[in-house]
Chains A and B, each alone.
Chain A
Amino acid sequence: MAPRLELVTGKGGVGKTTLCAALALDAARNGQRPLVVELSRRASLTSVFGKELGHEARDMGHGVHALSVDVEEALVGYLATHLRVRSVARKIIGSRALSGFLDAAPAVAEVATYHYLASLLAEEERGTPLWDPIFVDLDATGHALMFLGLPDVLDGLLGQSPLRGLVETFSEVLRDPEQTALHLVTLPRELPVEETEELSARLRAEERVALGELFVNRMPEPLIPEDLAGAVDALGALDDPATSADLALLEREARHRARAEAHLERLRALPHRLTTLPALPPGFSFADLADLGALARRRAR
């Protein structure tokens, strides 16, 4: 069975959000009911679907639902499960003495998020899960590690409490490859590759989460088939200024691609299933995005 919780992380700007949207659109096209969860208030998903996100799931169109976790609301939701009256939870969160503390205290946002994700996983409609799959767009890698490292931070502080139950149960979900897959997303460029190598080593050492795919986005495709090399040379030999300017562009593309290939080789050395994806065409449509999602699924299998 495919894991129902798919976490996506990677350096900023590598296309995590686009990939989440692409995978979700493909899932919807296959009759599933995908939900995309954003953990930070980045505008990225809004710019893909053209709709504002809220703390509760909203219909983005094309069969995809999405939400953006509001930490304060998530915290109210968490406290409310332990209190009869929701307004008490709201009052605690709103307490002036406590609000500064809750803003700054470690792990508060992560605990609230664990709880919210666990409750989203548990939501059902007529006996079947309401959301399948749930894509979580984790922020840059530092935040992802913090999110996954919660049990460590709280280690020795929890005793036998309901909070311990939540942290332990959700940690089990994260570690179980039947339930969770953490996908890494990167680009065939130096800094993203370096960060991916470091992240991969850390994730494998910590063993806190079941690992999924390593997606390499925007892999350039060759522009000129090899059998045309002779024709390219013949054109270059003419010394026509306009053609030479064009050939310089072509060479630039080839250099980009050669560099990308070298970076890809480094990524191949990592023990992940690796999937390369092409860049999206300019002005791409939802169908293009869904096709990219399908390609990601197909290549990953």
Chain B
Amino acid sequence: MTSVEELCSRRLVVCVGPGGVGKTTFAAALAVEAAARGRRALVLTIDPARRLAGALGLDGLDDSVREVDVSSVVVAPSGVAGAAGAAAPGALHAAMLDTSSSYDSLIARIAPDENARDRILGNRVYRAFSKTLARSHAYVAMERLYDVTLGDDYDLVVLDTPPMRSALEILDAPRSLTRFLDDRVVRFFVGRVPDPIALDETSPRSLTGAAALRVLGAIASRELVEEMVGFFNLFASMREGFAERARRVDELLRGEDTSFVLVGSVDPAHLDDARAMRDGLIERELVPDLVVLNRSYAPEPTMRAGSGAAPVAPVEERADERLGRLFPGGTASMNPGTQNVIEVLEVLESLRRSLSREAHAARGRAAEFAGELPEGATAVVLPELEGDLTSLAALRHLVALVDA
């Protein structure tokens, strides 16, 4: 079973899962725990997640990396400060991956000269790429990840991914970028601007790259094809740099030092999404080391966030029996306003039943899901924590439940 200790000792932990299950919170909690264990951790989040910023004591999160004050949970290493052998204290940093602003800076970094950079930035096909498209966001996210993980500033990077499909796109980004910049594609476009001819001349037998381009030109306009050819001509010079970085990011994702955590919930719809995500990972030959299923809505009164106190379990007892036990002399002598206690007891009985049914069904679903996991993956079900996770201690408590 993968323990919190092991996760904290990794280089990169990628949290994936459907939206609305507490993925961002879990990613932050893991990073806090790692910092408390003396690691220099960075948590990269995708969602604006203001509440997360609040939990970390930050007034906001943006593209720049901010330090989180973890002095309340990090124990200073013993020994003389700076003395040889003294462990470095843990630290925590956080940033939101704002993918829209960093694409241009990526181009600036890898362009061979200013002229090439300006021509690329002005190319309309490039601008279409960099605008609002999730798949180009995925590239940029991977680029940021590459920069922070291969650098020496952090021992552990925890990546919180966007929900579902986009998360898989992020994982595919390095490979699809490499395919996109494949020699064949570049050769295909570079130095070609075909004459528009009648489409009827295109037959399956005579299909060539030029013919395919003619089709694209006829459907999408000659201008588009010209800009595209221009785009690829410019990119030809940067291809190597791009492809090399993409290859290394892919290696990183598949490396021994990387773990995937699939965060889901016992809600049936979320579990279906989590299944699709799990299958998506397996298709990509990636195995989630840990599956965290949140929000098991327990029939017990909820544990308050950050406290370990066990709640009193409810007792099964029919409403009329309880009425007899509590009011052996009957309720006739009570105030008129309190006489209808039986109605309340009936509501309580049905609430207890429905919560217990729900909890039973949730346990069954979680067990079924856990049974379908590949070898090496462990599933844990976390109880619903009531109240906001607004302190580092509360976040640590959440992670502690994984090992419990």
Q: Which residues of A contact B (CB under 8 A)?
A: 11-15, 17-18, 40-44, 46-47, 79, 82-85, 87-88, 91-92, 95-101, 103-107, 139-140, 142-143, 145-146, 149, 152-154, 156-164, 187, 189-192, 194, 198, 223-224, 228, 230-235, 238, 240-250, 252-253, 255, 282
Contact = CB atoms under 8 A, between A and B. Distances in A.
A219 B347 CA distance: 19
A223 B351 contact: yes
A231 B135 contact: no
A158 B220 contact: yes
Interface residues on B, range: 35 or more
A101 B48 CA distance: 31
* Residue among A145, A194, A224, A231 with most chain B CB within 10 A: A231
A88 B203 contact: yes
Nearest to B268: A47
Given A12-B163, A18-B269, A98-B188, A92 B207 contact: yes
B223 A157 contact: yes
A82 B219 contact: yes
Contact of B315 (A154, A156, A242): A242
Contacts, number: 250
> B interface, by DSSP: helix, strand, loop or mixed?
helix
B166 A142 contact: yes
A103 to B, nearest CB: 5
A85 B204 contact: yes
A46 B279 CA distance: 15
Contacts of B134: 142-143, 146
B20 A84 contact: no
B314 A153 contact: no
A159 B223 contact: yes
A88 B215 CA distance: 10
Contacts of A104: 135, 176-177, 179-180
Contacts of B317: 242
Given A92-B207, A228-B340, A235-B341, A158 B223 contact: yes
B341 A223 contact: no
A139 B185 CA distance: 30
A12 B180 contact: no
A159 B221 contact: yes
Given A44-B272, A158-B224, A88 B313 contact: no
A295 B338 CA distance: 35
Given A85-B203, A245-B314, A250 B347 contact: yes
Contacts of B162: 140, 142
Contact of A40 (B128, B165, B188): B165
B230 to A, nearest CB: 12
Given A43-B273, A100-B176, A249-B314, 7 more contacts: A12-B163, A104-B135, A140-B19, A161-B224, A228-B344, A234-B334, A247-B348
Contact of A82 (B180, B215, B338): B215
Given A231-B337, A249-B351, A13 B269 contact: yes
B132 A145 contact: yes
A162 B358 CA distance: 54
A167 to B, nearest CB: 10
8 contacts: A13-B163, A84-B200, A88-B207, A106-B136, A145-B132, A162-B218, A234-B335, A246-B314
